[in-house]
Amino acid sequence: MTDRAVILQKSVELRDPHDCTDSGDALALLEAVFDAPVRRRADGGFAPALAERWDVSPDARTWTLTLRAGLRFHDGRPLDAAAMAASIARMKRPDVGATLGAPAVWGQYLAGAEIRAVDPRTVAITTVEPLADLLDILASAYAVPPEVDEPGFRNSPIGSGAYRVVSVDPGVEVRLEANPDWWAGPVGNHGLIFRCEPDADRRAAAVAEGRAALASRLTAAQQRAGVERAGRFWSDYTDPTAIIFLLNATTGPCADARVRRALTLAVDRTRLIETVLAGDGAVLEGFVSAVHFGAPPASGAASFDREVARALLAEAGYGDGLDLVVDTPTRLPDEAQALTAALGAQLAAIGVTLHPRVTEDRVAYAERVRDKRIGDLCVFDSSPMSTFRVLYEKIDSRIAGSWWQGYANPAVERLLDDARRTVDDAARAGLYGEAYRALQADPAWIPLYHHRLGVACAVALERPAVRGDGVLDVTLLPALPAGEGKRT
C-alpha cells in the first residue's frame, strides 16, 4: 500500500513548462508542479497566484506584478522577482513556446518587451505594443529555476506548485508529494500518482473496481453507468476546445463570404453531435465558446437555415452544386474522419459534395495547415482560452498567423486593435462581444461543437475538479483513497 492516490490519464507527460499546449493531460501535471503569476477563473477572468496583485498603465503597455512574500521553489530557493522576471523572459526565446506546427507562440507577444525586477517582490513588464490581455500570456508563465534548460530537468523538475515531483517514469507515471510550503496552504492529498492508461474504458473500470481513485477525460455513457453501478461518482464537464472546420478564404469557393456563411448555416449541430459523439457534446455557437472572455451566454443552438444557405450558394454562382476538397487527420480530434463523413451528409442537402483527403501523420497535417496548403476546408480545433489570442493568431489578416487561412475582416481587426488598448475589463469584453457577433455574420470557419467529458472518482466531488479551461486542478480535490493499484 501507499499514501498516494492514483489518477489515470490518457497520457502522462511532463513537458517543458513553457511549451504552448492545449493538452488537458499535460496541463494537469504542469499546474500541479508549477505556478504562474495568475490562474484563470471559471468566468474567464484571472485569480492571483504567485502575484498577489497587478496593475496596468493606461496605455496598456506596462504591467506591474507584486509577488507574494516568502515564495520558494521546491528545493527551498527563494522565488523572488528576479526569478520570476527570468522565467517570463525565457518565454520570449525563439526556441521556447512551441505547439504542434507553430513555434515560439509566446515570443510573438513578448518580443521586444522589457522585463525587469524592480525590487525583490516587484516585476515590471513593458511591451512594445499595447497588450491589455497580457494576463492571458502570464497564466502560462510558470516560474522555473535556471537549470530548466538542462537535459535532465524534465525527469526531476523543480517548480513552486502545490506538489513536488518524487519520480518520473517517462510516459508511464509521475509520482508527486504535497509541497508543505505552498503559498495557498495544505492540499487534500499527501501524495498523487499520475499514471497513463490510454484506453478510456479501462480508466473508468479501474475507478469502478477500486484500482484508481480518479480517471479523467472519459466520454461514453456506458462508462458513467459502470462507474455509478459500482458506487463511485461521476461529474460531467464541457471541454472548451472548439471543434471546427477551417475554411480556405484565400482561393477557391470559400474565399466568397456568401459561401462561408452558407456552409455555416447548413449544419444542424445538434444532429451532428448525436451522429458523431452519441450526444456527448455541446453546440458551439460562435468563433469561441460561451465561457471565453467577452462571448455572450450560450442560447442553446447555433443558427441553422438550409433555405438561406441554398439561396446564398445560388447568389454566389453555385446554384447547380459545389464540390469541395476537405483535409482531415486521423486523430486530434479522434473522430475527424467520422465527422467529415457526417458533415458531408448534411451539406449534400444544399448541393455541396465533400471530397476527403486524409493525412495520417498528425504533425504533417498540422504543417499542411500552417503552410496554408489545405484544400477548401479542413478539420481543426481551436483551443486557446484567450479570445484575444484566437483573434490574433487565427483571424487577423495583418498577422497571418500559423493557423490563419486567408480570412480578412477590417471591422473585426479594428475591434481587436481597440481591445488591445482598453484596460477596463468590461469595456474590453464589450469589444470582443462585437467581434463575436461580426464573426457570426461573416464566419472565418464553421463552428461545430465542444466535447462533453467526464471525471470518475472514488469519492463525491463537492466542487468541480475540472476548471473552466478544461484542466483537472488537483488542488481542488478532496482526500482520495490511497493505494498503488496496478498498472494496466
Under the phi-then-psi rule, with left for phi > 0, alpha for psi from -120 to 50, and beta for the rest, what region is 165? beta
Cell of 93: 526565446
Judge whether 467 and 23 are in contact, CB under 8 Å.
Answer: no
The Cα 28–Cα 40 span in angstroms is 13
Determine the pLDDT at residue 302: 72
Determine the pLDDT at residue 444: 98
- CA angle 279/281/284 to nearest 5° reads 130
Under the phi-then-psi rule, with left for phi > 0, alpha for psi from -120 to 50, and beta for the rest, what region is 175? beta
Judge whether 372 and 344 are in contact, CB under 8 Å.
Answer: no
Task: Name the residue among 193, 238, 232, 248 with its Cα closest to residue 217.
Answer: 238
All domains in the chain, ordered by first residue: 4-13+161-232+458-476 (3.40.190.10), 35-149 (3.90.76.10), 242-451 (3.10.105.10)
| Helices and strands, counts by H and E, the chain | 14, 18
Taking only Cα atoms into account, the Rg of the chain, rounded to an integer number of angstroms, comes to 23
Cell of 20: 504552448
Number of alpha carbons in the 13 Å side-chain half-sphere of residue 437: 8
Q: For the whole model, what pTM was predicted?
A: 0.94
pLDDT in tens, the chain (488 residues): 358 999 999 999 999 999 998 889 999 999 999 999 999 886 668 999 999 999 999 999 999 999 999 999 999 999 999 999 999 999 999 999 877 667 789 999 999 999 999 999 999 999 999 999 999 999 999 999 999 999 999 999 999 999 999 999 999 999 999 999 999 999 999 999 999 999 999 999 999 999 999 999 999 888 999 999 999 999 999 998 999 999 999 999 999 999 999 999 999 999 999 999 999 999 999 999 998 999 998 887 678 999 999 999 999 999 999 999 999 999 989 999 999 999 999 999 999 999 999 999 998 999 999 999 999 999 999 888 999 999 999 999 999 998 999 999 999 999 999 999 999 999 999 999 999 999 999 999 999 999 999 999 999 998 899 988 899 999 999 999 998 766 65
DSSP string, 215-274: EEEE--HHHHHHHHHTT-EEEEEE--PEEEEEE--SSSGGGSHHHHHHHHHT--HHHHHH
Determine the pLDDT at residue 484: 74
The Cα 482–Cα 202 span in angstroms is 19
Cβ-based neighbour number of residue 360 at 10 Å: 9
Determine the pLDDT at residue 1: 39
